[in-house]
Amino acid sequence: MTKLIHSMVRVQDLSASIKFYRDALELEIVNQYHFNDFSLTYLANSETGFEIELTHNHDQHEPYVHGNGYGHIAVSVDCIYTAHKRLSTCGINASDIKSFDHEGELLATFFFITDPDGYKIEFIQRAGRYL
- CA 1-43-38 angle, to 5 degrees, is 100
Q: What is the mean pLDDT of residues 33-62?
A: 96
Catalytic residue (one of 28, 53, 103, 122): 122
Domain span(s) for CATH 3.10.180.10 in the chain: 1-60, 71-131
Confidence (pLDDT) at 102? 93
pLDDT band at 8 (very low <50, low <70, confident <90, very high): very high
Q: How far apart are the first and last CA of the chain?
A: 22
Q: What is the mean pLDDT of residues 90-98?
A: 98
Using CA atoms, how far apart are residues 95 and 121, in angstroms rounded to an integer? 11
Q: Mean of the per-residue pLDDT values for the chain?
A: 95
3-state secondary structure of 70: coil
DSSP 64: P
The structure's pTM equals 0.93
pLDDT band at 113 (very low <50, low <70, confident <90, very high): very high
Written as one letter, the residue type at 68 is: N
CATH number of 1-60: 3.10.180.10
Give yes or no: 103 in active site: no
What is the architecture, at CATH level 2, of domain 71-131? Roll (3.10)
